[in-house]
Structure 1
Amino acid sequence: MQVHLVDGTYELFRYFYSPGGGHSNDAGEQVGAVRGVLRSLLTMLGDGATHLGVATDHVIESFRNDLWPTYKDGSGIDADLKRQFPWLEEAIAALGLTVWPMVEVEADDALGAAAAVAADDDRVEKVVICTPDKDLAQCVGGKVVQYDRRAQQFRDSEGVLEKYGVEPASIPDWLALVGDSADGFPGLQGWGAKTAATVLRRYGRIEDIPHAPGQWDVGVRGAAKLATTLHDEFEQALLFKTLATLVTDVEVGTVDEWRWDGPTDDLVGWADRLDAPDLVRNAHRIAEDRA
């Protein structure tokens, strides 16, 4: 058995800015992004996905906004896109799929929690987290892989190491040092991606990096200045690591609950609203093929 976990928020953004993402229905509602995501999920089901969960950001803000003032808060999101957030959740449920709308935590946290649940299930052979988001790279390892659907690229532990220069477990530390502009925290001054990767490949965690450059046994340019910065801003570095570390004690249910058994009756109404009668036809065809 394989489990597929999808970042619904990312998919909604992706389809909103794709050709057709600006489609409006007869009521004047811009619904192209939701329509694109549902068709995409049906493609996954048609390709054989059986156990599938979708995580969404029901609200953009999370507990992380209380920890760091400039953490992403949804400001600047196009109103036509933001309006489709709740519609997406309802439409996914109508399709008969499991959806996790996150409020206190983020969609990424739910994906990490679901990946842990699936990996602990002896029946599951592979867990595929469908998102290119670098935060989710920390979940990779063992049964868990990351999949960039747009680039059609899988990434296992070796792939994470090749792309970021660190093991999956060090991804939060790496992000803390180099920053994450998408999430709104800057990292530490002078700590570039390659330097941080070199140091973390040796020490693994921020907490284990010596604060005195003379104690480093890895050669990097500007070690003295980097060590001083880490020493002076150590607490902030740990805060950034907290921001980048996924919270996995989120209630996501069990693998059995994520099995897709076909659409609900509500899909008819949503297909009409989305100008997509093909959704109902294809959903029933896929379900009947599995019966």
Structure 2
Amino acid sequence: MELHLVDATYELFRAHFAPRPPVLGRDGIPLSGVSGLVEQLLYLLREEGATHVGCATDRVIESFRNDLYPGYKSSAGMPPELLAQFPIAEAAVEALGIVLWPMVEFEADDAIGAAATRFGDDPAVDKILICTPDKDMAQLVRDERIVLWDRRRAIVYDDAGVRAKWGVPPTSIPDYLAVVGDSSDGYPGLTGWGAKSAAAILTRYGHLEDV
């Protein structure tokens, strides 16, 4: 059995901002994000033959990480017409019969991470495909059993793929992002450090605590 884990928040954002004609509901409500998400889920079910799918959303964008670092990503400045699509998207996911994890306080990433950890050693699961190009999720990759699947680019990142892409093993991705920063999550990297220098240090030491 293959388990597909979908970051629905990513799909909603990607579809909402995609350069294509907007999708509107009968009452004129913008539904481009919902439409794009459903489109991708139907593709998984029909074209890829996925049988076991879990879908995570950020029901509330803010999480406990905002308490740890005030500059962390939040809903501030996000289009209200996009935020309004989240409950509609969640209802659509459930209508498709897909398991939904609507996150409050924690993030969709946390739900996907928990699921990958929970089922990573399950003998009934042959492979887990994390359906997102988000580099945060690369830390979950384990050999060829748990992989990151960038479906639009048709790229699957296994352990070797993560090393080739980011220059560090999956277990060092949290340290790598702590050094170089992540603008999409709203936190900066260390001054004077770039991707190459971070990869070189972490390839040697593995984790910042060991430097």
| Structure 2 unmatched runs, 5+ | none
Residue correspondences, number = 209
| C-alpha distance after superposition, 1:162-186 (max 9, x if no partner) | 1101000000000001111111111
Structure 2 letter corresponding to 1:93? E
Task: Report the equivalent of 2:17.
Answer: 17
Deviation at 1:18, TM superposition (A): 2.1
Q: Distance in 1 between matches of 2:121 and 2:45?
A: 23
| C-alpha distance after superposition, 1:188-246 (max 9, x if no partner) | 1111110000000000010011xxxxxxxxxxxxxxxxxxxxxxxxxxxxxxxxxxxxx
| Structure 1 unmatched runs, 5+ | 210-291
Q: Distance in 2 between matches of 1:182 and 1:106?
A: 14
Is this contact kept in 2: 1:21–1:31, CA < 8 A?
A: no
Is this contact kept in 2: 1:140–1:156, CA < 8 A?
A: yes
- The reply to whether residue 5 of structure 1 matches residue 5 of structure 2 is yes
Taking only aligned residues, the RMSD between alpha carbons, in angstroms, comes to: 1.1
Q: Distance in 2 between matches of 1:130 and 1:49?
A: 12
Normalized per residue, the structure richer in helix is 1
The structure-2 alpha-carbon separation of the partners of 1:157 and 1:21, relative to structure 1 and needing over 3 Å to count, comes to farther
| C-alpha distance after superposition, 1:134-181 (max 9, x if no partner) | 100000013100001121110001100011010000000000011111
The structure-2 alpha-carbon separation of the partners of 1:13 and 1:169, relative to structure 1 and needing over 3 Å to count, comes to same
- The reply to whether residue 30 of structure 1 matches residue 30 of structure 2 is yes
The structure-2 alpha-carbon separation of the partners of 1:68 and 1:125, relative to structure 1 and needing over 3 Å to count, comes to same
Is this contact kept in 2: 1:55–1:99, CA < 8 A?
A: yes
Deviation at 1:19, TM superposition (A): 4.4
Task: Report the equivalent of 2:43.
Answer: 43
Selected match of 2:173 from 155, 168, 171: 171
Q: Distance in 2 between matches of 1:48 and 1:19?
A: 28
Which runs of structure 2 are paired with 1:1-291 in the superposition (5 Å)? 1-20=1-20, 22-46=22-46, 47-142=48-143, 143-209=145-211
Q: Distance in 2 between matches of 1:50 and 1:129?
A: 14
Structure 2 letter corresponding to 1:191? W
Deviation at 1:32, TM superposition (A): 2.0
Give 3-state SS (helix, strand or coil) of 1:128's partner.
Answer: strand
Deviation at 1:78, TM superposition (A): 1.4
The higher radius of gyration belongs to: 1
Normalized per residue, the structure richer in strand is 2
Runs of 4+ in 1 over 4 A off after TM superposition: none
* % identity of equivalent residues: 55
Give 3-state SS (helix, strand or coil) of 1:45's partner.
Answer: helix
Structure 2 letter corresponding to 1:70? G
Q: Distance in 2 between matches of 1:39 and 1:198?
A: 40
Normalising to structure 1: TM-score of the pair? 0.70
Moved more, 199-208 or 28-37: 28-37
Give 3-state SS (helix, strand or coil) of 1:124's partner.
Answer: coil
Give 3-state SS (helix, strand or coil) of 2:18's partner.
Answer: coil
Q: Which has the higher contact order (CA 8 A, sep 6+)?
A: 1
The structure-2 alpha-carbon separation of the partners of 1:145 and 1:54, relative to structure 1 and needing over 3 Å to count, comes to same
Normalising to structure 2: TM-score of the pair? 0.96
Q: Distance in 2 between matches of 1:18 and 1:150?
A: 13
